[in-house]
Structure 1
Amino acid sequence: MPCAERNEGAVVSTSINLPPGAEIAHLPQPLRLECGEELRGVFVGYEILGPEHAPLVLVQGGISSGRHLAAHESDKAPGWWEGCVAPGGPIDSKRFRVLALDYLGGNGLTTQPQLCERVEHAGLGFPEVSTYDQAKLTALLLDELGVSELHAFVGASYGAMVALAFAERYPERVGSILAISGAHQAHPMGVAWRSLQRRVLRLALENALPGEALSIARGMEMVSSRSPEDLARRFGGKPREGGPRSPWPVESYLEACGRDYVEGFRPEPFYVLSRAMDLHRVVPEQIFVPATLVSVSSDQLVPSSQVAELASRMAGPVRHIEVESLLGHEAYLSEFESFAVLLREALDA
Structure 2
Amino acid sequence: MSFATATVAQLYPVASTDSADSSAPAVRGEIEVQLRMRHAGQRALRLRYELVGAAGAPVILVAGGISAHRHVAATAGFAEKGWAEGLVGAGLALDPQHRRLLGFDFIGADGQLDAPIDTSDQADAVAALLDALHIDQLQGFVGYSYGALVGLQLAIRHPRRLQKLIAVSGAHRPHPYASAWRALQRRAVALGQLQCAETHGLALARQFAMLSYRTPEEFGERFDAAPEVINGRVRVAAEDYLDAAGAQYVARTQVNAYLRLSESIDLHRVDPAAVNVPTLVVAVEGDRLVPLSDLVSLVEGLGPRGSLRVLRSPYGHDAFLKETDRINAILTTALRLPGETA
TM-score (norm 1): 0.87
Which residue in 1 is equivalent to 2:218? 230
Q: CA deviation at 1:93?
A: 1.2
Which residue in 1 is equivalent to 2:80? 77
Which residue in 1 is equivalent to 2:7? none
Is this contact kept in 2: 1:285–1:315, CA < 8 A?
A: yes
Which residue in 1 is equivalent to 2:50? 47
Q: CA deviation at 1:22?
A: 6.4
Q: CA deviation at 1:246?
A: 4.5
AA paired with 1:197? Q
SS in 2 for 1:113: coil
Q: Please list, as runs of the form range in 1=range in 2, the aligned pairs for 1:1-349 lying within 5 A after superposition.
A: 23-28=28-33, 30-40=34-44, 42-107=45-110, 112-113=111-112, 126-240=114-228, 242-348=230-336
Q: CA deviation at 1:174?
A: 0.3
CA RMSD of aligned residues (A): 1.8
Is this contact kept in 1: 2:27–2:52, CA < 8 A?
A: no
Q: State the distance in 2 between where 1:287 and 1:27 align.
A: 28
Q: CA deviation at 1:203?
A: 1.2
- The one-character-per-residue Cα deviations of 1:6-49 (angstroms, maximum 9, x if unpaired) are xxxxxxxxxx9968876233235x21011151112x21111111
Cα gap change, 1:240/1:90 in structure 2, threshold over 3 Å: closer, same or farther? farther
Q: CA deviation at 1:219?
A: 0.4
SS in 2 for 1:68: coil
Is this contact kept in 2: 1:66–1:100, CA < 8 A?
A: yes
What are structure 2's unaligned runs of at least 5 residues?
1-11, 17-25, 338-342
Q: CA deviation at 1:240?
A: 3.9
AA paired with 1:162? V
Is this contact kept in 1: 2:170–2:295, CA < 8 A?
A: yes
Q: CA deviation at 1:332?
A: 0.6
Q: State the distance in 1 between where 2:94 and 2:197 align.
A: 40
What are structure 1's unaligned runs of at least 5 residues?
1-15, 115-125
Is this contact kept in 1: 2:15–2:29, CA < 8 A?
A: no
Which residue in 2 is equivalent to 1:13? none
Is this contact kept in 1: 2:60–2:141, CA < 8 A?
A: yes
Q: State the distance in 2 between where 1:104 and 1:316 align.
A: 32
Q: CA deviation at 1:90?
A: 2.8
Q: Quick one: percent identity of the two aligned structures? A: 35
- The one-character-per-residue Cα deviations of 1:45-85 (angstroms, maximum 9, x if unpaired) are 11111101100000000000111111112221111111201
Q: State the distance in 1 between where 2:249 and 2:173 align.
A: 27
Q: State the distance in 1 between where 2:69 and 2:189 align.
A: 22
Is this contact kept in 2: 1:27–1:140, CA < 8 A?
A: no
Is this contact kept in 1: 2:13–2:28, CA < 8 A?
A: no
Moved over 3 A (4+): 16-22, 240-244
Is this contact kept in 1: 2:57–2:99, CA < 8 A?
A: yes
Q: State the distance in 2 between where 1:43 and 1:74 align.
A: 23
AA paired with 2:237? P
TM-score (norm 2): 0.89
SS in 1 for 2:235: coil
Q: State the distance in 2 between where 1:140 and 1:339 align.
A: 29
Q: State the distance in 2 between where 1:268 and 1:18 align.
A: 25
AA paired with 2:31? H
